[in-house]
Amino acid sequence: MTLRPRPKISVVIPLRRINDYVREALEHLARQTYDNFDVYVITDSPETCDVGPKLKVTFMSSGPVTPNVKRMMAAKDSDAEIVALLDDDAFPVPHWLEAASAHFTSAALLAVGGPGITPRSDSASQQASGAVYASPLVSAGFVYRYLPSRARDVDDYPSCNLIVRREAFLKYVPECLRYWPGEDTKLCYLLTQGEGGRIVYDPAVAVYHHRRKLFWGHFRQVWNYAVHRGFFAKRYRGSSLRPQYFIPSIFVLGNVAALALLFAERVRVAALVAGAVYVLCVALAVAAVRRTHPASPPMIAIGIYLTHLTYGVGFVIGLLAPELDH
C-alpha cells in the first residue's frame, strides 16, 4: 500500500516591518514536528532577518498594502498545496502544522482553524485584553477562538490562525481584497457558501496570539471588527447576520434609556435593578477569566463594559455605511 505523501504547506506571515514578534514566530516555526513546509515573510520594504538552518524562508516586499494583498502575493508564488495564514504577532505550538495537515485527507475540507491563546508572557494590559475576548459575556458562543474547546465545524474564522487549501484561497481571495479587517469573514463565507466546503475548528491547531494593549489598541481593534461586522450583516449576511452581533447595539440603547429612566421615579428601581444584574454578570465573568488571564479585575471589568459600548456603536456605523474603505 502506497502512502499519500504529506502535503506541502506554505506558512504566510504579512507585516509592515521585521519586529521581535515575527522573530519569535520564526523561532517556533523552526520547532514544528511537520517536515514539509516553507515560510513566506512579506514586508512593506525589502527586509530580512536571521532564521537559522532549519527553516526555508522567502522574504518578499509588497509596498504599503493590506495584509490580504500580501497573503495573495505569497500564495501565488508558492507551489504548496496548502497555505497557513499566521499573523506576525502569533506563534504556533510545535504540532500546529501536524495537527492541521491531518484534516486535509477529505476533499470537502477547505480550511482548518484553531484557538489564538493569550501568551503568559504578555503584559498586564495585554492579559486584560485577552481576558475580555475570552469572556462569554463578550465573545458569546465564540470563546473557542481564544481558548481551546471541542472540535467542530465553523463557517467563519479569523486569519491569525487559518490554514486553507491554496487553490481555493487563490480562487476567492481576489474578491476579499476590498476589506481589511473582515477579509477573513468574506473568505470563509465564499469557501462555505460559494464552494460548499467545510471549515473545521481543531483545538490542537493552536497558536499563541499577543493581544493589543487595553485600552487604546484593544478598542481600536474592537471598533474595526464591529464596523465590518455590521456592514457584512447587511451586505453578505450568512455568518454575520446573527442575533449575538446585534446585542451590543441593543445594550448601548439600554444604557441611554437607563440614564433617562433614572430621572423617572416610577421606573427608576427597574433601571437600577437592571444595572445591578449587569454588574453581577460582569463580576462573575471577571472571576471566571482570571483563572486563565492574570490581570487586574477592575481593568477587565471596565474593558468588558467599554467593549460592549464600542462594539455596539461600531456595529451600527457599519450597518449604516454604504461602503467601507480599507
Q: Where are the domains of the chain?
A: 9-213, 232-320
Angle between helices 216-235 and 297-320 (to 10 degrees): 30
State mean pLDDT over 77-105. 97
Query: What is the model's pLDDT at position 266?
Result: 67
Please check the confidence at residue 4 and state whether its pLDDT lies above 70. Answer: no
State mean pLDDT over 68-94. 97
32 within 8 A of 99, measured Cβ to Cβ: no
Query: What is the model's pLDDT at position 326?
Result: 61
User: In percent, how much of the chain has pLDDT > 70?
Assistant: 97
* Distance of alpha carbon 289 from alpha carbon 284, whole angstroms: 9
- Encode 54-80: b = buried (16+ Cβ within 10 Å), e = exposed: eeebeebebeebbbbbbbbbbbeebeb
Please check the confidence at residue 1 and state whether its pLDDT lies above 60. Answer: no
DSSP bridge partners of 85: 12, 162
**DSSP state at residue 321:** -
207 within 8 A of 94, measured Cβ to Cβ: no
* Confidence at 324, pLDDT banded by 50, 70, 90: confident
Q: How many residues does the chain have?
A: 326
Q: What is the mean pLDDT of the chain?
A: 92
47: Cβ contacts below 8 Å, ≥ 6 apart: 17, 18, 59, 61
Q: pLDDT by residue (tens digit) across 226-281? A: 999 999 998 887 788 899 999 999 999 988 887 777 677 667 777 788 889 999 99
Q: What fold does the segment set 9-213 form as a domain?
A: Spore Coat Polysaccharide Biosynthesis Protein SpsA; Chain A (3.90.550)
Query: What is the model's pLDDT at position 59?
Result: 97
